[in-house]
Structure 1
C-alpha cells in the first residue's frame, strides 16, 4: 500500500506562518526560499513487525512541497472492513507455484554473495569478465548499461536473483505483498467522505483531522509501539488503487493533498526483492554506512549551522558508521526489556543519487560504484544502486511520484533509513514534496496541517540561522505539555508497514 501526502493548502489565506525543512539542494544552515510553502508537521514511530524488528523508509525530495507516499507491506485498507490480515506463510509459499520446490531460502544462490568493502578497485579489475549483451531468450538482466550501478557485483547479484525470481511477474509480486500483511486495523469514519471511495474532486476541508491530545494520542500514545487494542485508528486519508484510481490520485497530487496509494506492481517488485532472505545482506554487504545513535528513542535532526554553539551544548545524536549486519546485531532485539524508550537506539541509513542529472565524481566509463554527495542529509558518498532498486523514482520523466523532472545537475537524493523498534522522529516540518516508501516493518506517522505549527512545540527562529522546522521535546515531555498548551492541535494518524 502506498500512502501519499502533501502539504494541505489553506483555502482562504496564504500560509505565511508555516514552517519548512531545507530542500535537498540547499546547503546546511541555509533557509529555503520555499519557507512560505505549505507543509506537514510529522512525527513517526517505528513499530515492530513479526520477526523483523526494523523498517526502512525511502524519501526523495523531487517536488516543491511536501508530498508523502508510503508503501505498506504489512497491512492494507479494504472496503468498509478496514485493514485485513492475510496471515504469514512460508516465504513465497502461496505465489511460487511457477517454480515448485524452491521454497527453501538456503538454496538461494545469492546467499553467499556480499558487496565487498573495497569495491571500486575490484570492480575495475574484473570489469571485462562480465557479458554486456542482452539475453532475449530468458529475459534476464545481462547489461550493466541498464543500471545506475555499473559494478560487476550488482550485475551478478541481479542476474542471480532474476534466475530464481524472473522479473515482470506482477501478480507474483503483488501477491507477495499480500502474503506479508499481518495487521488488522479499522479506521474511524468521518462525516464528509469515505476514505475507500473518495470523490473525484477533493472535498473542502480534506483531509479530516482529529484532536491531537484528546483523541489521537489518548488512544495511541507516541511511545507505544503496539497498535491500539481496539483495532481502530484515526485515518482520514483517501486510499487509491494505483491502476483503477490513477487519474484521481493525480488530481489530489496536483492539488497538493495527501493520500494513500496501493497496488503498484513496480513497487511490489522492490518489496519482493527486499523481503527475500539474504538479498539486502548481499546488496549492502561489507560497506559501512551512516548510523545515528541516540541514548533514547527520540531522534532530532540537527546540523552544525552555528559555528559558535553554546558551551554546554552537545549534539542530540551521534553519527557513527556500521555495516548492515553490524547494525542488525544491535537493532534486531527481541527482548522487550532492551528496547524501552529510555534505552539506546540506532538508525541506519543509506543515501543514493537518483538518475537524471549530472553527478560529480561518477566514473562514466563504468568503474565507480559510489558518487559524490547530492543531498544535504549526508556528507558521505552516495551509492548508485538505490535508483536501480527503485526505478519508480526515476526523475527523468514525470509520473505519479515525480511531478517536476530533473534538469541539468538538479538530481535529488534518495534517503533510505532502517529504524529499530521504537525509533521516533521528533516533530518537524517538511518544506518540499517527499514520497516515503515503507518496504519492511511498520511505521506510524502522525500528520498535521501547517496551520498547527504554532501548537507543536517547534524551536523558535534564530536571527543568525533563520526559522526552525523541528521540535526538540522528547515525546513524553511533549505529551505532558500538550495537555496545557497544545490541547487544540489537530492531526491525522496512519500506521503503515509490513
Structure 2
C-alpha cells in the first residue's frame, strides 16, 4: 500500500494479533483453572482435618465417659467384659450339656447361695461313658480383668481387726509326726493313703477355725541339718516318694526378712539392696476357689464366666486384704485374692548382682549348681512364688517335674494323690479346652453329696464326678513356714491356704544323681559316693503309685477329634 507522498505504508497483520490475543487468553484460562484446583484441594484438606478433629474429640469424650461412669457390680463379678454372665455364684445349672457354638450358656433356676460356687457342667470333663465334647474355640488373645472391692478397706482399719493375726495360727498348732524310717519302704505302704471323702470328713476343707486339736501327719519329717536324716530324704526323693524337711537355714532367714514392706518394695520398683524390680500380679475369684484356665480361649457363651480375673492391685494392697482376711475370718463366699510371681529359669545363669530378691534370698533354689532342692539344674524350671490369703483353694493339678515347695511364711494344706488316681479326679482331657490337663472340681464338696439341703444344688455331672473323686487315694498334710514339701513328678496336689502365706517352689527334672556335680558339704559324703542305686528314674515313676505314663494314658483318651 502506498501513501500520498509515495511512501509505502504496511498495514498491521491482524491475524498475528489475534493469535497473540488468543494465546494470552489461554494463559489466563490455565492460571484460573490451576487456582481453582488449588482452592478446591485446600478446601477438601480443611474438611478432612475438621472431620479428623471432630472424630478425635468424640473418641476422647467416649473414652472419658467410659472411665468416669460408675461400674455396675454383678453378683460378685464387676467387669464390663461379661456383665451378661450374672456371676459365678449365681450361675446355678440343674442340667446342661454340649459344647458346640450353638449351645449358649444359659442360667437356669438362678439362686443366690451364700458360700457356694456352682459350675457350668461343660467346664468339667464328661463322665466316664459319656461322649466326647469337642471344644473348638478360636484363640482370641482375650483377658478378663476385674476391679476388686474396696468396701473392706474401711472395715480393715477398725481396731478389732488390727494386729491380731489369724484366728488359728497353724505355724504354732500342735502336730503329731510319724516315727522316722530311714530306709523307705517301697511296697506301697508309704505314704499311707485314704479315700478323699474320709480326708474331708475328718477335717472339712473350709473349716479353718476348727481344726482337729492335734493334726496327725503321715509324711516323713526330716531335719535338713541332720546329715543322717538328709541322706534318708535323698532316698525318698529318688524313689519318687513324698516327704518334708524342716530346719532349713535360708528359710528361717527369709521368714524374718519377708515382711510385707520388704516384699512390696521389690514389686513396687524400689531399689532395695540393688536388686532388680520383681514382677507379679494379683488374681480375683468370686469366692475362695481358683482353677487353672487359659483366658485366651475361654468363651463365656459356652462355659459361663471364667474361674478368676486378673486384677490391677499392688502387692501392698493385696497384703492389706490378706491381713484383714485373717483377722476377720473371711467367709468362703466373699471375693478372695491371690498374688503370684514367676522368676525365669535363665535368671540363675546371670550374675548374682542381677538376681531378683527371691533368687537372692533362696540361694539353694536359684543356684546354677546342683543342691538338695535343685538337684538337676539342666532340667530345672524357674522359681514360682505364690502368696495366698486365708481360704484360697487351688484346684488339683500335676507338674511334670519333681517339685520342691518351700513355705516362707504362714501355712497351707496340701491334698496329694498319686498318678494312678488320675481317672478319679475329673481331669479335663479335651485338648482344646481352656483347662486341659487340669481339674475344675472343688473337692471340699464331696462331704455334701448325701446331705439333704436345699442350698446344695449341683449339676448331674459335678455330682457324678465328686462321687468318683470321693474314693480317690489321697493324703493330707500341712506345710508351715520353715518346711519344704517334696511332691514327686506327676503327683496331683490340691491346695488350701490356711492363713496369709508366702510359698515358693522349683521343679527339677527326673533324678540323675552324680556325686561329681554336688558342692553341698552335706551331700559330699562318702555314703553318697558308695551308692549305686541312684539312676535316672523312668517315666514309670514309683512302681506302686505310677508316673508320667499313667497320667498320659489317663489324658489321651479325651483328645479332640480333628
1:231 alignment partner, one of 211, 214, 233:
214
Task: Give deviations 1:244-297, integer Å, cap 9, x for gaps.
Answer: 21211112111121111112223322223225x743344444677300100000
1:186 alignment partner, one of 176, 180, 187:
176
Shift of 1:331: 2.1
Task: Give deviations 1:460-488, integer Å, cap 9, x for gaps.
Answer: x1144699332112345444347733332
| TM norm structure 1 | 0.52
Q: In the alignment, is residue 303 of structure 1 matched against residue 275 of structure 2?
A: no
Shifted more, 261-270 versus 310-319: the winner is 310-319
Q: In the alignment, is residue 468 of structure 1 matched against residue 436 of structure 2?
A: yes
Task: Give deviations 1:329-373, integer Å, cap 9, x for gaps.
Answer: 2222157766111110000112223566667xxxx897xx7xxxx
In the alignment, what sits opposite 2:421?
Answer: 452
Q: In the alignment, is residue 241 of structure 1 matched against residue 231 of structure 2?
A: no
In the alignment, what sits opposite 2:391?
Answer: 422
Shift of 1:228: 2.3
Structure 1: runs of 5+ lacking an equivalent: 1-27, 30-49, 55-73, 76-180, 188-194, 370-382
In the alignment, what sits opposite 1:351?
Answer: 342
2:195 alignment partner, one of 201, 212, 225:
212
1:340 alignment partner, one of 293, 315, 331:
331
Q: Distance in 2 between matches of 1:365 and 1:308?
A: 43
The 3 A distance-change label for structure 1 pair 228 and 335 is closer
Shift of 1:438: 1.0
Q: In the alignment, is residue 321 of structure 1 matched against residue 293 of structure 2?
A: no
1:298·1:475 contact (CA, 8 Å) conserved in 2? no
1:395·1:402 contact (CA, 8 Å) conserved in 2? yes
2:181 alignment partner, one of 148, 173, 198:
198
In the alignment, what sits opposite 1:386?
Answer: 358
Larger Rg: 2
2:374 alignment partner, one of 397, 402, 405:
402
The 3 A distance-change label for structure 1 pair 303 and 205 is same
Question: Number of aligned pairs?
Answer: 297
Secondary structure in structure 1 of the residue aligned to 2:422: helix
The 3 A distance-change label for structure 1 pair 237 and 328 is same
1:354·1:387 contact (CA, 8 Å) conserved in 2? no
If asked which structure has higher relative contact order (CA below 8 Å, sep 6+), I would say: 1
1:358·1:411 contact (CA, 8 Å) conserved in 2? no
Task: Give deviations 1:291-339, integer Å, cap 9, x for gaps.
Answer: 0100000011111463877545432100123222111222221577661
2:238 alignment partner, one of 233, 254, 271:
254
Shift of 1:226: 3.4
Q: Distance in 2 between matches of 1:442 and 1:197?
A: 23
Q: Distance in 2 between matches of 1:251 and 1:213?
A: 27
Task: Give deviations 1:444-468, integer Å, cap 9, x for gaps.
Answer: 1111111112222222x11446993
Q: Distance in 2 between matches of 1:229 and 1:347?
A: 26
Q: Distance in 2 between matches of 1:260 and 1:212?
A: 22
Q: Distance in 2 between matches of 1:390 and 1:316?
A: 32
The 3 A distance-change label for structure 1 pair 336 and 455 is farther
By percentage of residues, which structure has more strand? 1
The 3 A distance-change label for structure 1 pair 354 and 388 is farther
Secondary structure in structure 1 of the residue aligned to 2:294: coil
Task: Give deviations 1:400-423, integer Å, cap 9, x for gaps.
Answer: 1112113xxx77321111111100
Q: Distance in 1 between matches of 2:347 and 2:377?
A: 8
1:455·1:486 contact (CA, 8 Å) conserved in 2? yes
Q: Distance in 1 between matches of 2:223 and 2:285?
A: 38
Q: Distance in 1 between matches of 2:325 and 2:304?
A: 34
2:445·2:466 contact (CA, 8 Å) conserved in 1? no
2:252 alignment partner, one of 258, 268, 279:
268
The 3 A distance-change label for structure 1 pair 418 and 332 is same
1:355·1:396 contact (CA, 8 Å) conserved in 2? no
CA RMSD of aligned residues (A): 3.6
Q: Distance in 2 between matches of 1:495 and 1:279?
A: 26
Q: Distance in 1 between matches of 2:230 and 2:402?
A: 19
The 3 A distance-change label for structure 1 pair 254 and 475 is closer
In the alignment, what sits opposite 1:486?
Answer: 469
